[in-house]
Structure 1
Amino acid sequence: MSVSAHIRFVLVGTQHPGNIGAAARALKTMGLARLVLVAPEKPLDEVAFRRSAGAEDVLGDAPVFATLAEAVADCRLVLGCTARSRRVQLEELLPEAGGQRAVAKAAEPAEVAFVFGRERTGLTNDELQLCHAAVHIPSDPEFSSLNLAAAVQVLAYEVRMAALEREQAAPVTAAPVHDDEMPASHVQVEGLFGQLGDTLDQIDFHKGRAPESAMRKLRRLFMKAQLSEHEVRLLRGILSDAQRMARLANEGRN
């Protein structure tokens, strides 16, 4: 299986079906075929297929999910394509670096997603929380708004260039990866975050303060660590013991 087969382009809340068709065409011109839709505002229509212009197969095969979390549940790298300076502080990559990182991760092999938001408002902060890093296209600040399909084309091009560069390089035999060393999937890491949030509440870590700020910082910390499956299990075991001790302490007070 080629590296590109492990890379998906996810469009979230797309408002105009024609933009989905144009994005499908942008992918196919770069040898990519995995388009994923999350809660599009309108179903695919004649305009979408007409604008796909030969990429009807990419468009027709695109699965539809209700939420971004479902669409990237099995991914080990999620890159959010967004403008700068949002409340969610993520590592920022230029398109070339984003393409190289995606191809390197896909070669492990691992599932990778590029995520694009709505035409008018982009990705929400909650959706950005699900990303490991952000990719920023350095357009002219005086006219910075790119059409959705144009943004997809830029990132698809960088993925293709990185994949071609990898194919032309001398082959390197990778060391075998043991099961416990496999990177944790997105859904496994999200499970850890859910348990971590519950545990912090149970031990009264926040002391009446709003928990959002602490959880954002902890998310960034663990996302940068790129936890393995074994590490997630270890951390969840620690949290389970902390939750058990918190329950015992509460029972003792009652």
Structure 2
Amino acid sequence: MQIQLKNIRIVLVETSHTGNIGSTARAMKTMGLSSLYLVAPKTLPDEQAIALSAGANDIVESAVVVENFNQAVADCSLVIGTSARSRHLAIPQIDPRGCGKQAVRYAEQGGKVAIVFGRERVGLTNEELLKCGFHLNIPANPDYASLNLAMAVQLVSYEIRMAMLGSRQSEPTTLVTEVNEKPTQQELDYFFNQTEQLYRQLNFIQNSGVMPKLRSLYARADLRKNELNILQGMLAAVKKSTVASE
């Protein structure tokens, strides 16, 4: 179980208060999670973070600090982004229970999973959410949906543990193949960058609204690596043809 759970990371983006880092570490450790990534925290973990970790200081001290969102999820085949409010984005929605099942499904077969929590005040940006395969929303009381960061992490971590305890691998071979065929976030980002570069060159993209819609389209398609390779080949062929005609 521990080996599988190590494939699931909690990512905190631009935390303002170090105490939230410590409280998050505590929430994670109670449910068996240990991989914590910090994206450009306002302040690095300090004594307050250690104090509020309540014995989970090992998670705080081993936290991986990176500069941006892309670095935190580059090697992951499943990225789930959280948001406290509904967004008008064409991204598959998921609740904490569904999040736990999806995360465990990938982790059991060796896939790396990132569950991303945004800034305390404003959450994740739309651009960051568009890079996620699922949009996680906690269905709290709409009249008082006041969850702090550590509470949200605790809820999600609990559902991950429950999914792990109740998992049944009825078709392991099929699942292994499916997860291994998923492209990483880094591979997807490369494809989208190449797509935008070519489409702008062809004057197909003339404003900033096109790429988010394309990202949403491909997210719903749930691409496999061989399908992404076909799309990359199509881009290369169009680029070659364009150069030849100049």
* Structure 1 residues 172 and 133, CA gap change in structure 2 (3 angstroms): closer
State the alpha-carbon separation in 2 of the partners of residues 150 and 52 from structure 1. 13
Shift of 1:171: 5.8
Bigger Cα displacement from structure 2, 81-90 vs 233-242: 81-90
- The equivalent residue for 2:222 is 226
1:213 CA displacement: 2.4
Q: Tell me the CA shift for residue 170 of structure 1.
A: 6.3
Identity of aligned residues (%): 41
TM-score for both structures, normalised by structure 1: 0.90
Equivalent residue for 1:73? 74
Instruction: Report the Cα distance in structure 2 between the residues aligned to 1:216 and 1:161, rounded to whole angstroms.
Output: 34
2:118 equivalent to 1:117: yes
Measure, in 2, the Cα distance between the counterparts of 1:71 and 1:60: 17
Look up the SS of the partner of 2:211 in the other structure.
helix
* Cα pair distance change 1:5/1:233, threshold 3 Å: same
* Residues 180 and 18 (structure 1), Cα distance of their counterparts in 2 relative to 1, 3 Å cut: closer
Alignment of 1:139-178 (within 5 A): 139-166=140-167, 169=168, 172-175=171-174
Give 4+ residue runs of structure 1 displaced > 6 Å after superposition: 178-181
Q: TM-score, normalised by structure 2?
A: 0.93
Partner of 1:102: 103
List per-residue Cα deviations over 1:83-123 (Å, max 9, x = no partner). 23324332111110111111112222210010000111111
Deviation at 1:202, TM superposition (A): 1.8
**Ranges in structure 2 where 5+ consecutive residues have no aligned partner:** none
Which entry has the higher C-alpha Rg, 1 or 2? 1
Cα distance 1:240–1:35, how it changes in 2: closer, same or farther (>3 A)?
A: same
Are the structure 2 counterparts of residues 137 and 26 from structure 1 closer, same or farther at C-alpha, using a change threshold of 3 Å?
Answer: same
Query: Please, what is the CA RMSD of the aligned residues?
Result: 2.0
Equivalents in 1 of 2:145, 2:177: separation in Å?
Answer: 45
1:27 to 1:180, Cα distance in 2 relative to 1, 3 A: closer
Which deviations, in whole Å up to 9, do the C-alpha atoms of 1:191-239 show, x marking residues without a partner?
Answer: 1111111121122223xx41x3221221112122222222222211110
Which string of whole-angstrom CA distances, capped at 9 and with x for unpartnered residues, describes residues 44-94 of structure 1?
111100000010111111000000101100001100011233243321111
Uncovered stretches (5+) of structure 1, i.e. residues with no partner? none
Checking the alignment, whether the CA contact within 8 Å between 2:99 and 2:136 is kept in structure 1 is: yes
Aligned to 2:86: 85
Give me the whole-angstrom Cα distance separating, in 1, the residues matched to 2:3 and 2:197.
40
**Alignment-mate amino acid for residue 218 of structure 2:** F
Does the residue aligned with 1:143 lie in a helix, a strand or coil? Answer: coil
Distance 1:4-1:189 versus aligned 2 partners, 3 A rule: same
Q: Is residue 109–residue 175 contact of structure 2 (8 Å, CA) maintained in 1?
A: no
Query: Measured at CA, do residues 176 and 216 of structure 1 come closer, stay the same or move farther in structure 2, by a change above 3 Å?
Result: closer
Amino acid at match of 1:147: N
Query: In 2 relative to 1, CA 233–172 (structure 1 residues): closer, same or farther, beyond 3 Å?
Result: closer
Distance 2:148 2:239 in 1: 48
Query: Quick one: which of 212, 217, 226 aligns to 2:213?
Result: 217
Number of matched residues? 245
Find the counterpart in structure 1 of residue 185 from structure 2.
Answer: 186
For the 8 Å contact 1:8–1:114, the answer to whether it is kept is yes
Q: Kindly tell me: are residues 193 and 170 of structure 1, through their superposed partners in 2, closer, same or farther at Cα, counting changes over 3 Å? A: closer
CA-to-partner distance for each residue in 1:143-197, whole Å, 9 max, x for gaps?
213100000000000000000001xx36654249669962111100111111111
Alignment match, 2:55 = 54
1:18–1:180 distance in 2 versus 1, CA, 3 Å: closer
After superposition, the Cα gap between the structure-2 partners of 1:66 and 1:89, relative to the gap in structure 1 and judged at 3 Å, is same
C-alpha distance in 2 between matches for 1:7 and 1:140: 28
Amino acid at match of 1:60: E
Please say which of residues 193-202 and 169-178 is displaced more in the overlay: 169-178
SS of the residue corresponding to residue 84 of structure 2 reads: coil
8 Å CA contact 1:184–1:228 kept in 2: the answer is yes
